[in-house]
Structure 1
């Protein structure tokens, strides 16, 4: 065929003289008698082809197939207009083929295409795609060949590639706890590959210490030299100057990662999902978003918490769960059970001899891998962040998770990130939630608030009922409120213990079942973080109580009154010991009757009692009766403190009179009130001993 082509070409040149100077090319293709001669041609990039018409009207169409109407999708589009040929030959034009690939053409004039007047030109080159297959690596060629967003490997370029060797890829997969093919699905992977490519032809001799190459990703690749070795970032260049027609490859011993990439962590995967807004808000409400955002860059010098495995219920799943609980979504997010609900779905990767499943360790040098679907088998059991077991069922088409109360199905697997993996599930994994049952004194509500989004910044409030710590609660970072409800029985004694340094943004309020405020506290510049003790639930009303006297223990350093107490004696007999295990301030209210005489005895085992702190005694009206809060001085005991002195030494219950005179108004806890506010219940006490319960609507 080549001999025939050369003969025809020579014949044309001999008979045409200089007529084809404009058709000077590396190769000639003849259009004659409804065919291209030759109809198939292989050339190299940069070569030129001349098209000469010897007979009939023909064109060269490399854009669309005239029979099917479909585009040829050639590496580049070419078209030469209709030309009438003759025996001497008419030059239709010359095309230079720069981009490698397969080009299909036809003559779309008349019935040429139906007569199969077709041409195929293959522009073949030993390009970067060919070269990378010959350098003895297994992992990198696949990634560079199929996961780059632009055809750098075949584009004319030129391009300079820094290709990690197999050990570098193995190291990073081990660090990220990923399988060989899992890495191809991680977020930002194409952009990370582009960070290994620099435009231009940069041979070894062109690289020098201090050179900054702009990568195809957009960030600089910094070249350095140490002890005669060249480095790109912190990766050593171990093999150089592997060349192809469109560039050069240098092999390096580490994978490269641009600043702030990969950008995806499990929290970002959840945040960017349009179907997981409720889960995102719940995680933020609990203050877990920072923990789920750690390790968002490839940096093995950082040992943070994780990696994490998150089973993510959809918004629709949360809606169903909230309805089952008889709550709205907002009520669910404010629920005291939210932590237990959300932590059912999170598996902590940092568990070792020093750290339990339910503990989040900020330092985790040897984490366990995240749980991708290929690591899960039927019967596999793991422990979630709530320290409860999760078991798995695997069939050919379904992966299911068995929780404490129900089984859910995984509907999307392996949303990978650099600090873990997210699996989407079709229902909420239900925990065993204790029912909040009202006591004989109803349900009481403790409401913690913060005016800033940092919550209580680690401060907490302990709820103690009858000397037993029931719960420790706080306002999580990212939230501004937490509501806790608990049942109380008649005569239960409730203590509220404040843990922490306090803040002017914090406050709390305790209300009974009717919404009446029992105690409340809000820190300001004039007070310290304060707890309360000795709160009696539904204390029986005693008309002989003249007021509630306030006893406040104080320690300016927040140490409480360790190994110490303030012992209260009433009328010469021991009444109670007031203690403060920890904290800056604690308030205890004691009932005072007319003509009671109190002794407040400081009982301490401290070697240096001046470190103890102090105390104050105040009347119900706020008058300070005793102030033993002095700097660098040990508090002294106080004696013969008379709170309510009666002129005739007769109790109100003994006073009888025909005309009723209101003596005072008290609330359900017996505290004296100056006015009867709307929406409240008060007891009216008259001079003849009569008591009336009244509600002001």
Structure 2
């Protein structure tokens, strides 16, 4: 979708909102089919935000959509312990700015407030967002637009550490993070971008290197290496390639290049990009990045 068509679509939506009578929250209440969504929004402390000026675009799951979640899921999310995940799920349904369906039909994806992109597809006259069908589009409100969807869109609710643990290919990286005392930092709210070397990448280091780095007396060197794999902020591969640089927390700035489909960060090739997590994004690499001494 080109920039001019996106601007035109947003201006069109803005013009429509000028004639609307109710906010997003008020409109949802009047509709009568979003009681679960409204309860969740109240519990997560987002009601005041969605009654503010915005504008916002909300992909609103119906009560039936929430009812289709696995048994006990909603009840768990509404507990005090579940509120962080509930907030992440809800922000996964909200875009900054008012975008009507014509804009969505011409785009490949949109990025909601959760930071995890939503793929868009328009086929056979039906618009779908991350697999959820838009059953009613362009409900115009004073502070944005509602598009009704038939299922709840679930982001990755796991953080960087939890995601890496479940993949199973990052045992050495996780052991190193623990030895360096960086696990809590990698589980924090972030967001962060991690260039994650696989176990095979660590195995390519000279014999004895990993064992040496894991010793308490070499903690400072280990921290230096690991933080050279972390960038502040959630940076997807497209933005990283466009920017051409990866300024890390350690201080080293790696050059990012793309050639014949291969993306390199320093001397490491990205073998899997854009693994989004609750607190950032992981790009899997095949070589450990070693900063200059």
Q: TM-score, normalised by structure 2?
A: 0.50
Corresponding residue number in structure 1 for 2:119: 181
Q: CA separation in 2, counterparts of 1:267 and 1:291?
A: 10
Contact 2:93 2:112 in 1 (8 A): no
Q: Give the corresponding residue for 1:270.
A: 164
Q: Do the aligned partners of residues 256 and 321 (structure 1) sit closer, same or farther apart at CA in structure 2, a change above 3 Å counting? A: same
Residues 179 and 285 (structure 1), Cα distance of their counterparts in 2 relative to 1, 3 Å cut: same
Report the CA distance between 1:381 and its aligned residue.
Answer: 1.4
Residue pair 1:412, 1:424 contacting (<8 A) in 2 also: yes
Please give the per-residue CA displacement for 1:448-502, whole angstroms capped at 9, x wherever unaligned: xxxxxxxxxxxxxxxxxxxxxxxxxxxxxxxxxxxxxxxxxxxxxxxxxxxxxxx
Match of 1:347, SS state, is strand
In 2: Cα distance, 1:294 partner to 1:285 partner: 17
**TM-aligned CA distance change 1:262 to 1:421, over 3 Å:** closer
Q: 2:94 aligns with which of 144, 148, 169?
A: 169
**Contact 1:140/1:165, CA 8 A, preserved across alignment:** no
State whether residues 92 and 116 of structure 2, in contact with CA within 8 Å, keep that contact through their aligned partners in structure 1.
no
Other-structure match for 1:338? 222
What does the per-residue CA deviation read over 1:524-543, in whole Å, with 9 as the maximum and x for residues that have no partner? xxxxxxxxxxxxxxxxxxxx
Secondary structure in 2 aligned to 1:390?
A: strand
Structure 1 stretches of 4+ moved >3 Å: 137-141, 164-168, 171-174, 255-258
Correspondence for 1:417: 277
Q: 1:140, 1:166 within 8 Å by CA — same for their partners in 2?
A: no
Summarize deviations over 1:583-618 as a string: whole Å, max 9, x none. xxxxxxxxxxxxxxxxxxxxxxxxxxxxxxxxxxxx
Corresponding residue of 1:375? 239
Report how far residue 421 of structure 1 moved. 0.6
Q: Does 1:399 align with 2:263?
A: yes
Query: Structure 1 or 2: larger strand share?
Result: 1
Structure 2 residue 184 is the aligned partner of structure 1 residue 290: yes
Cα separation, 1, equivalents of 2:92 and 2:222: 44
Structure 2: give runs of 5+ residues left out of the alignment: 1-56, 71-88, 97-109, 121-129, 133-144
Change (3 A) 1:282 1:257: same
Q: Cα 1:371–1:165, aligned 2, differ >3 Å: closer, same or farther?
A: closer
Contact 2:256 2:263 in 1 (8 A): yes
**Using a 3 Å threshold, how does the CA distance of structure 1 residues 149 and 411 change in structure 2: closer, same or farther?**
farther
SS in 2 for 1:290: helix
| Cα distance change of structure 1 residues 167 and 308 upon mapping to structure 2, 3 Å threshold | closer
Measured after TM superposition, the shift of residue 294 of structure 1 is: 2.4
Q: Write the mapping of 1:100-139 to structure 2, written as runs, cut at 5 A.
A: none
CA deviation string 1:99-146 (max 9, x = no partner): xxxxxxxxxxxxxxxxxxxxxxxxxxxxxxxxxxxxxx99679xx99x
Cα offset for 1:377?
2.3
Judging changes above 3 Å, is the alpha-carbon distance between structure 1 residues 409 and 167 closer, same or farther for their aligned structure 2 residues?
closer
Q: 1:379 to 1:138 in 2, by over 3 A?
A: closer
Structure 1 unmatched runs, 5+:
1-136, 151-163, 183-188, 194-237, 240-249, 296-305, 350-369, 434-697
Task: Compute the displacement of 1:379 (Å).
Answer: 5.6
Q: Where do residues 151-550 of structure 1 align in structure 2 (5 Å cutoff)?
A: 168-171=93-96, 173-181=111-119, 263-295=157-189, 306-323=190-207, 327-334=208-215, 335-336=218-219, 337-349=221-233, 370-377=234-241, 380-402=244-266, 407-433=267-293
Contact in 2 for aligned 1:379/1:391 (Cα 8 Å): no
Q: CA RMSD in A?
A: 4.2
Write the distance in 2 (CA, Å) between the matches of 1:178 and 1:408: 24
Distance 1:430 1:169, change over 3 A: same
Cα gap change, 1:331/1:394 in structure 2, threshold over 3 Å: closer, same or farther? Answer: same
Deviation at 1:262, TM superposition (A): 5.1
Question: 8 Å contact 1:379–1:393 — kept in the other structure?
Answer: no
Deviations along 1:165-220, whole A, 9 cap, x unmatched? 999531594422343329xxxxxx99xx8xxxxxxxxxxxxxxxxxxxxxxxxxxx
Q: Quick one: distance in 2 between partners of 1:408 and 1:267?
A: 21
**Number of residue pairs aligned between Structure 1 and Structure 2:** 177
Distance 1:167 1:393, change over 3 A: closer
Looking at both structures, which has the greater relative contact order when contacts are Cα pairs under 8 Å and sequence separation is at least 6? Answer: 2
